[in-house]
Amino acid sequence: MPFFEENGRKVFYLKMFPENPAGGQEKIMLIHGAGGHHSFWVLQLYDFSRENEIVAIDLPGHGASGGKAFEEISGYRKFILKAAEELIKDRFFIVGHSMGGAIALDFALHYPEKLKGMVLVGTGGKLPVPPSVLNVFKTGKHFEGLIALAFGRKTAKQVLDVALKDSAATPPEVWYRDFSACNRFDLTASLPSINVPALVIAGADDLLAPPGYSRYLSDNLPSARLETFAETGHMIMLEQPERFNEVVLNFIKENA
C-alpha cells in the first residue's frame, strides 16, 4: 500500500496514471468529505485516469492514514499543500466533496497559483452543522439517520448498505472533529477574491448541503459555473457517476 510521511504521520494515497501517457494528461487530486476516505471516489477513478494522473488521498485520521483528524479546515488545507508538493509537484485540478470542497476553497484562496481549476461538489462557502448532530458524536456515539440524509431517495440499496458500513467504521471522534471543522468554516466574505476556474456541482435534493449553498458559490466566485443534478442527494458522485464523470472531465478539458 502506498504511503508517504507527513509530520510523523503515515498518509495513505492511491495514485493512478493514464493508460496512454503520451502527453495531454492533467493532474487531479480528489479530496473526500467528512468521515470519508479515498474509496468514496471509486466510481471516478477509472474514468478519470484514462487520460489523467489521479491522486486520491485519505486525510489524516481517515481510512488507512495515521494521525488525528483536524478540527479546522485550515489544518486540512495545509496538509493538502504538503501532499501536493510530495505527490504532484505541478499545477493541478482539485476536486472536493462536502468538507473536501471546503478544503478546496480554502486551498484556492491561499495558493491559487498551484491550481488550474477546482470542482466543488455538494459544498458551500460555509457549512453549519446542527448542534444536535455535533453533540451525538461528541458523546462517542454515531448519529443514526446520517446515511438517510446523505443520499437521494432513488439510491440503490446496495450503495446504501456499503455507505452504512463505512459510516459505522469511522470512529465518532473523527466525525466530531470533521463536523467541528465544517461548523467553524466560513469563507463567504472571501469568495469574490478566489479567482480560480470553478465547477460547482449540486444535488437538487441534498439535505446536508442544500442546493442554495451551491448557487451562492456560483453567484459569488468570479469564474464559476453551476451544474445541478435532479433527484440527487449529497453523495452526487456515487448517485449519478456517469453524468458526474462527464461534466467533471469536460470542465478539466476546457481549463487544461
Residue 116 has what pLDDT? 98
Structural domain of residue 26, as residue ranges? 3-254
Using DSSP, state whether 181 is helix, strand or coil: helix
pLDDT digits (tens, 9 = 90+) for 220-230: 999 999 999 99
126 versus 154: which is more confidently predicted?
Answer: 126
Q: If pLDDT is split at 50, 70 and 90, which confidence band does 24 have?
A: low
Spatial distance between the Cα atoms of 35 and 31, rounded to a whole number of angstroms: 12
Burial of 186 (0-12, 13-18, 19+ CB in 10 A): middle
Taking all residues of the chain, what is their mean pLDDT, rounded to a whole number?
95
Q: Does the structure show a pLDDT above 70 at 151?
A: yes
Distance CA 99, CA 11 (A): 18
Mean pLDDT of all residues in 126-152:
94
What's the rounded Cα separation, in Å, for the pair 116 and 108?
Answer: 10
pLDDT band with cut points at 50, 70 and 90 for residue 7: confident
C-beta of residue 119 within 8 angstroms of C-beta of residue 129? no
Query: pLDDT of 176-201, one tens digit each?
Result: 999 999 999 999 999 999 999 999 99
Residue 242 CA to residue 181 CA, distance in Å, equals: 31
Q: Average pLDDT in the 134-163 region?
A: 92
- Calpha distance 124→129 (Å, rounded): 12
Task: Give the least confident one: 1-5, 50-54, 102-106, 249-253.
Answer: 1-5
Give the CA-trace dihedral at 207, 213, 218, 221, to 10 degrees: -140
CA angle 121, 67, 208 (to 5 degrees): 25
Match 455535533 to its residue by C-alpha cell.
134
CB 176 within 8 A of CB 137: yes
pLDDT value of residue 21: 65
> What is the arithmetic mean of pLDDT over 151-167?
90
pLDDT digits (tens, 9 = 90+) for 137-148: 999 999 988 998
- Half-sphere CA count of 93, side-chain side, radius 13 A: 25
Structural domains counted in the chain: 1
**CA nearest neighbour of 194 among 117, 253, 83:** 117
pTM for this structure? Answer: 0.96
Reading across the β-sheet that carries 27-31, which strands appear in turn? 3-6, 9-16, 53-57, 27-31, 92-97, 115-121, 198-203, 224-229
* pLDDT score of 89 more than 90: no
Which CATH number does the domain housing residue 132 bear? 3.40.50.1820
